[in-house]
Structure 1
């Protein structure tokens, strides 16, 4: 069996590699497209597939929410640009949502392989078919991978959860890692103060549940 693993492993904390690719909006350099912004990068196995159609429409409907968070969206599918454009027209007709973000034309599945988005268990004639899973990467402005979600082809993603995770990651980023967010956290909820934090002056109203668990409201003004 041939080696299908990427040369550079993609994991939380790794630097996302740069690449150039054709997209539904024309040629793109990944680093230039994401320059100074967060990025939600998500993959699809193919155009004109049912779950993917609902997902692209859902991300498109929330594009303003991502823009307000200084975050760009980037999709990937394994067909050419002409197919992408026909598919986008179909998505817009079905969902009533305008799709303004680019979708990579990963016909040779190079980018999907580079980002470890592939399903190594999908076989064609005994060889891995390199079928992209439903992967989500949230990448920070320094090109560091902050979150990875992987779904099987049968399960659609949850855009509200992607937004929630982005809010959490951005808050941690702003506080330089001084806080964490607990189960089911949404903006406005109490945060968790990192255990053993030496300077807790920005959390004057923290309360101790256990030595290792301190909760605190977060004053947005303290982040400025």
Structure 2
């Protein structure tokens, strides 16, 4: 089996697809509607790290909902297998319900299409497993972020929520978020913003950090 699909770059149109899932057959674009989406893949059902990840997303589903984000998982097993696994996930996390779909990709077709296979991780038959890929897709169906974790390392969903907050904030304001930024902390004024436009764009004011070069490029402002 080929482990190479078409490389997706940030800003590319995310490809539409149809798939069988735990909520029935979906058209991805129709399922998204006007929302953003996060698609995250898993090597296999009934595996320990994957169980912690899917239970974590189910537990923080209100955090995704209030950000207008729809999560959808993918694992290389059947819908029937997924549905049995969901009962384990609910039990592990002490959840009464599981509020998002899991895509069945037992033929690895979508994993190949989206270039999510890990050539170093294989199942008992020698077929490559999916890595822990993360795709964040905006409402216009553009790819805004991608992360690739190895199968042995679970994802940090606090970081994924932080990135979503940054993407949405910087879409609507002339700011960027600095290293380790969290919601509510200071932001950086974009270098493209002219000094004359500062009062109109940043009524809370800015502060400029002095550096040896004397250049006035480190401009901080309260989060808009």
Aligned partner of 1:197 among 193, 198, 205: 193
Confirm or deny: 8 A CA contact 2:188 2:218 kept in the other structure.
yes
Match of 1:40 in 2: 38
Q: Distance in 1 between matches of 2:179 and 2:142?
A: 24
Match of 1:222 in 2: none
Q: Distance in 1 between matches of 2:118 and 2:86?
A: 24
CA RMSD of aligned residues (A): 1.8
Q: Distance in 2 between matches of 1:167 and 1:82?
A: 35
Confirm or deny: 8 A CA contact 1:120 1:128 kept in the other structure.
no
Q: Distance in 2 between matches of 1:3 and 1:155?
A: 24
Match of 1:157 in 2: 155
Shift of 1:212: 2.1
Shift of 1:123: 5.5
Confirm or deny: 8 A CA contact 1:203 1:218 kept in the other structure.
no
Aligned partner of 1:85 among 83, 86, 93: 83
Aligned length: 214
Match of 1:208 in 2: 208
- 1:55-113 CA distance string (max 9 Å, x none): 00000000011001111001000110110000001110111122110000001111111
Q: Residues 3 and 56 (structure 1 numbering): CA distance in 2 closer, same or farther, change over 3 Å?
A: closer
Question: Runs in 1 of length 4+ with deviation above 6 angstroms?
Answer: none
Confirm or deny: 8 A CA contact 2:131 2:150 kept in the other structure.
yes
Q: Distance in 2 between matches of 1:4 and 1:94?
A: 32
Unmatched 5+ stretches in structure 2: 210-214
Shift of 1:121: 3.0
Confirm or deny: 8 A CA contact 1:74 1:102 kept in the other structure.
yes
Q: Distance in 2 between matches of 1:61 and 1:37?
A: 20
Q: Distance in 2 between matches of 1:48 and 1:5?
A: 26
Shift of 1:10: 1.1
Q: Distance in 1 between matches of 2:180 and 2:202?
A: 21
Shift of 1:134: 0.6
Unmatched 5+ stretches in structure 1: 220-224
Q: Within 5 A, what are the aligned runs for 1:86-105? A: 86-97=84-95, 98-105=97-104
